[in-house]
Structure 1
Amino acid sequence: MASSRSQEGRAATGGVPRHAFREQDAVWAELLALGQTVIGSLDKSVQAVCDGRIDLVSEVKEEEEETDRKEVRIEQECLRVLALFEPVASDLRRMATILKVNRDWERIADLALRVARRVRKLGRKFPELAPPDSLKDLARDVLVHVKASYVALVEIDSTKAREVIIGDQVIDESYRAVRRQLKDQLAARADQLDGWLLLLNSARNLERIADHATGIAQTVVFLQEGTIIRHSDPA
């Protein structure tokens, strides 16, 4: 009788056990929850840049450590599902997406912590130097960019994902403008070299966060369309 029920369950799902789909859904839900946590951490980091909220750095640190643990657990669960159920077609693409995006979220959390720490160090060692408005605008734009990639992922919407990919060009232009401004200021006030370098490094880390968000968007296109678009025209 148990064997008969198992066969019926497989037949109703195209030969795949029903619990296989449940386990895939569970790992997917964990990935989306991780994304929410990382966005919250990045938001705190942006507050540190824009509002001087260095009191939030410790929270960013705690969340980064929790992200590391979740990233490992999600990868382990994903590999277990792949080994046990050998998914194919769209199910296999979803598992591949989880592995890729899982790593992107972990890197965003790590970079958000680096940004927050550098702002704290700047405030302690160079209190007379403050992040310029252009850097604050970049930080806010990067946060919006990451949130947009998350929405595309949740909705598995390749159209929204392509908008994120195109938007990365704007982030890159803003980063280059911030870098030029900071280098000019560095040349004029070389006595505070280390402080300007902290700001430059923060700008670079923000740009790298945007790159990971763009990578998430590219993976969403792969998930929905089965097309790998890295190094190609997103349109």
Structure 2
Amino acid sequence: PRLDWLEKLVAAARREPRARVVFGQYEALAESFFTRCAAVTYLPAPGEPVRSTASCMLHRSTWELTGPFREDLRSAEDLLFFRALDAARVPATHAPDAFVTWELQPDASSTFRKFTVYARNNMRAGLAREWQRGVARFYAVVLASLVAGLFFRPLLLTPVLLLLLRGARRVWAWHARDEPARRAAALFNPTRLLVVTWINFVIDAATFYGTFQWFVHDHIGVPEERETRG
């Protein structure tokens, strides 16, 4: 975290004495081209308010209202916590200058593994509607366009265009606070657009694989290989 991170959280709490939760901000530790593109792909745009336990200060009474984090989850427990905050109508405020850094996965393979874990635990948490359902709808359209392309060949380009448009939307949103000329230049940077699109696709593949793992091992109950060996 930045040196004044905690001070910023405390200052926000003093400005809003009714608040029982103070959310700060996080930024990517992006030192390579891949991680900079990864930040564009799946992090909130710069300046966008976020709710994250990575930068957060809680009043002790909050736990009495929300209950503890679920210990059986390796991820998504924070999302359930935010839902509990909303349900209990716990007053919250933001400290937009209370920054911590998040080290992103350095390559596609580690990104795939990380999001596989996220996807599986998202299903365990019962939050498929907030992630998996949207991905499934998107690929239903992709599949339909592929089938239609068997009869009208130009439609075979539709899946590629849809993936590129989704990547372009992320780039456009990421540069929302930039000058129009710089925002347009970022959008029409082909290398960056292709890498953002590729990372998005890797995350989608991890989403399906993590969901498959949940179905086989958690829903049906098939033991995992390491459990069988153990």
User: Comparing both structures, which one devotes a greater share of its residues to strand?
Assistant: 2
TM-score norm. by structure 2 comes to 0.28
TM-score norm. by structure 1 comes to 0.28
